[in-house]
A and B are shown apart, each in its own frame.
Chain A
Amino acid sequence: MAFARSDGRISADHVPVKLVIAGPFGVGKTTIVNALSEIEPLNTEEVLTQAGTLVDDLTGVNEKTTTTTAIDFGRLTLPGVVLYLFGAPGQTRFQVLWDELVRGALGVLVLADTRRIDDSFAVLDLVENAGIRYAVAVNHFPDSPQYPSDALRKALDLDPRTPLLVCDARDPVSARASLIALVEHIRELVLS
């Protein structure tokens, strides 16, 4: 039937936990969410009423008053907790959606690409302004230039305590290691 689902692993005792994966266009958000998720990618429409009006040219479609975007969504059921992963678009024009996505999130994993490091600045601004705990993971592409981590930290203007990792977004083991580093960092901040 139309609403069939293939899973029933979550119980009412599970605590829902939200994590956000943020980054510029094409950095690998969809890839990492799919590598981590235990469910098939799901699609819903996010209605953006104002955010996109200046960018998304609606000339000729006078009836259209809203614009929509897709966000990546994944789930990982662990003993006692169910992790929900949201891939958040990193452009400042998605500010409204961004504010809603990070509300209640435990933390944000910011993905960066060393080939276009300055694309990550807007995302880091969003994260800093939201005052949310985060870690940065550089998604390593085959043609990515390698920089020493000191240089990357300087370029991204990171706090010395903020974790800076290198990951392969396609590899579930590497993707999970990035999430673990993020949550360990959050634990340290809570304990300090």
Chain B
Amino acid sequence: MSSGRQRRRVVPDYMAAARVSVPEHITVERTTLVYVAPDVVADGLDPPASHLLTLLADGPLSVYECAAHLGLPYCVVRLLVAGLAAGGTLLTRDPPPADLPDLEILELVISGLRAL
């Protein structure tokens, strides 16, 4: 486990999402799964973005986990992810709408928990 919170930052947290603009159709929340788009060239990214891509090299993670691993506040990482998703560097998978849950997903959860 590593948390950047213990280290003293020279650059303030909000700078991690500086110059990020997010189109309105991009929704990102805590449990949105994030992964790197295929064939992405990670050159020329700001340090927080390149740290995020390094972190995601092992596979998808939720936005919340990304925030914890990077030691940045969730609200900052949410913007960072949304900006990179808008630019096509990252792909995201939102949780399905919960107002009418999909039976298939409920069955997967029940059988998965039973099998543990």
Contacts and interface: CB of A to CB of B under 8 A. Distances in A.
A and B pair up = yes
Interface of A: 1-5, 7-12, 14-18, 39-47, 73, 75-76, 78-84, 86, 101, 103-106, 176, 179-180, 183-184, 186-187, 190-191
Contacts of B61: 5, 10
Contacts of A10: 33, 59-61
A81 B29 contact: no
Contacts of B94: 16
CB-CB nearest 3 A-B residue pairs: A78-B112, A42-B68, A8-B58
Contact of B70 (A3, A73, A179, A186): A3
27 contacts: A3-B2, A9-B59, A15-B95, A15-B96, A16-B32, A16-B93, A17-B96, A42-B65, A42-B68, A44-B64, A45-B74, A47-B75, A78-B115, A78-B116, A79-B111, A81-B112, A82-B33, A84-B62, A84-B64, A86-B30, A104-B31, A104-B97, A106-B106, A186-B101, A186-B106, A187-B103, A190-B100
B31 A14 contact: no
A1 B2 CA distance: 9
B93 A4 contact: no
B113 interface: yes
Given A15-B96, A76-B113, A86-B30, 8 more contacts: A5-B69, A12-B93, A46-B74, A75-B65, A78-B108, A81-B112, A106-B101, A183-B113
B9 to A, nearest CB: 13
Contacts of B58: 5, 7-8
B86 interface: no
Contacts of B70: 3
Given A10-B59, A176-B116, A2 B29 contact: no
